[in-house]
Structure 1
Amino acid sequence: MGSSSKVVRPEEVLDSLKNDGTVDALRKKIIAQLKANEDMKKNTMMMVEQSKVLKTPGAEKKTKRELFDALRQELETPVLEKASKAVWELILDNAGLGKEINETVEKVYCRLSGIDSMPPPASTSSARQEKRTNMAIEEGEESKEMDASEPSSSSRKRSFTGAMQNGGAIYQHEEHEDGN
């Protein structure tokens, strides 16, 4: 461990990642993986094929621009919701891009704080897996309760909040019910 360490705020880590081009590089990797996602492509194609806009009488008489605008208005939100979910899956993946993001943030944090390296706690992976399992069970129970008490469908919004705790970067993924 380094001889001196300083307290580093999450904003400092983020600023460093932005300034050295890391955020842009990660954004490009995420976009490349989304573009390569065959399920996303198939799902989007299916949504377009089943579009009300294209099935509306007189659609064949509209200009390409009018059709495009109408399709965007109809499909933009559901397509972006699916893309958002896919991005979160990439970010939270402990084996792929998510692991790379965590390691990169940790390296920058260590560099800024003067710490040589931070070995992960021995129980980290099993504790994370147990926490995820418990969250999944709780979400399933909450979902059942919501289904029973509220017949209308509700959308889930995800937020990703970073917290610096015990000298290391710990990320929490939260799901919130939205009444829309």
Structure 2
Amino acid sequence: MESSSLITPEDVLESLMNDGTIDAMRLKIINQLKANEELKNTTIKMAEQSKVLNTPGAEKQTKRELFDALRQELETSVLEKASKSVWELILDNNGLGKEISETVERVFCRLSGREPPLFPSNVDTQSDKGKDVEIGKENSDSTSKKRKFDEVNSEDGADEVASGSSKPSAASDDSGKVAK
């Protein structure tokens, strides 16, 4: 089943937001950050070494004053470390990052009427190598051996947009065969 309109990243994002997937992923990220002992220990060490807390007279300040001063001193560096940890989770190919990629791919496939997986594993790719040439032949026009822009865009570009992949797509040469 082929969709008549191009599925945009915004379409996929809207679907993920509407079905609660974004909130569920956010909760998983927060829980993994809370469980990150290295991040906790680094933050504790930063607070212990804080100029604000180690300044004479700090014990006479109110909790609010101390909190505000600590935030001003440490917020940027703590948030940078937390942000780095979040990106590590999101980009992890074996954990949450893999789950995010698979979820986005599933939603894209559902919206576009395609069958997952869009990008089979290396084992599958090796066994399907001969099929790529056949796909290239099917898409070639009988009067012109080059594919039209919208055919290339709907076959290759939409997959890359949905997955965020930067892998080079297969290109066809003048004979209509797909070059690898």
Sort the Cα spacing of 1:111 and 1:172 in 2 relative to 1 into closer, same or farther, 3 A: closer
Cα offset, 1:113, TM superposition: 0.3
* Structure 1 residues without counterparts, runs of 5 or longer: 125-163, 174-180
1:165 corresponds in structure 2 to: 157
Cα offset, 1:122, TM superposition: 5.1
Q: What TM-score, normalized by structure 2, do the two folds share?
A: 0.68
1:79 corresponds in structure 2 to: 78
CA RMSD of aligned residues (A): 2.0
Higher strand share: 1
> In the aligned structure 2, how far is the partner of 1:122 from the partner of 1:96?
16
Mean Cα deviation higher: 25-34 or 65-74: 65-74
Cα offset, 1:4, TM superposition: 1.8
Deviations 1:42-83 (A, max 9, x none): 000000000000111211110111111110111111000000
* Structure 2 residues without counterparts, runs of 5 or longer: 124-155, 167-180
Cα offset, 1:119, TM superposition: 4.2
1:120 corresponds in structure 2 to: 119
1:4 corresponds in structure 2 to: 2
Which AA in structure 2 matches 1:15? E
> In the aligned structure 1, how far is the partner of 2:17 from the partner of 2:86?
19
* 1:42-61 mapped onto 2 (5 Å cutoff): 42-61=41-60
Q: Which runs of 4+ in 1 moved over 6 A?
A: none
> In the aligned structure 2, how far is the partner of 1:49 from the partner of 1:19?
42
Which AA in structure 2 matches 1:97? L
Q: What TM-score, normalized by structure 1, do the two folds share?
A: 0.68
Deviations 1:72-110 (A, max 9, x none): 111111000000000000000000000000000000000
Percent identity among equivalent residues? 65
Sort the Cα spacing of 1:122 and 1:97 in 2 relative to 1 into closer, same or farther, 3 A: closer
Deviations 1:99-129 (A, max 9, x none): 00000000000000011223424559xxxxx
> In the aligned structure 1, how far is the partner of 2:52 from the partner of 2:63?
12
Cα offset, 1:170, TM superposition: 3.0
Q: Which has the larger radius of gyration?
A: 2
Which AA in structure 2 matches 1:35? K
